């Protein structure tokens, strides 16, 4: 389906995606050894084409699904990760994530979820 707009012309509508995970939820990667806290969600892929092409084709996820920004940790340290929905599962360990940016966005860990600080809620 396409929509017509005086501003954008005719463009295909993006697929409707439903995020399975929430902001503050602690998740882990389905295949790789890292876990993290979700701090943002893109309804469909919104990273660079170079980043996408760097994923080996055999394991490259579809673009038409939610992608999550994580404050991530692994055995080597902390970083920000961008992960497709199909590659995430809930981390039910109830262990805190050790990332220095968590305290700026979130309050306490409650089960497998961090509560967003009131100043960041809308």
Contacts of 41 (CB under 8 A, 6+ apart): 19, 21, 23, 66, 67, 68, 69
**90: closest CA among 41, 39, 24, 13?**
24
Span of 86-90, 110-114, 116-120 with lowest mean pLDDT = 116-120
pLDDT digits (tens, 9 = 90+) for 17-46: 689 999 999 999 999 999 999 999 999 999
pLDDT of 119 higher than 50? yes
pLDDT, position 122 = 60
- The residue among 81, 103, 67 whose CA lies nearest residue 35 is 81
pLDDT in tens, 67-106: 999 999 999 999 999 999 999 999 999 999 999 999 999 9
- Tokens coding 120: 């960041």
The DSSP output letter for 20 is: S
CATH class held by domain 20-120 = mainly beta
Structure letter (DSSP) for residue 112: T
């Amino acid at each position: 389906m396409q929509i017509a707009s005086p501003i954008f012309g005719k463009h295909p509508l993006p697929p409707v995606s439903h995020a399975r995970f929430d902001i503050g939820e602690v998740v882990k990667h389905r295949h790789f050894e890292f876990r993290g806290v979700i701090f943002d969600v893109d309804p469909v892929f919104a990273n660079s084409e170079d980043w996408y092409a760097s994923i080996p084709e055999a394991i490259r996820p579809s673009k038409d699904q939610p992608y999550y920004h994580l404050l991530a940790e692994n055995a080597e340290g902390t970083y920000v990760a961008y992960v497709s929905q199909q590659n995430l599962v809930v981390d039910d360990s109830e262990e805190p994530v050790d990332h220095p940016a968590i305290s700026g966005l979130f309050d306490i860990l409650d089960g497998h979820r961090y509560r967003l600080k009131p100043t960041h809620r809308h």
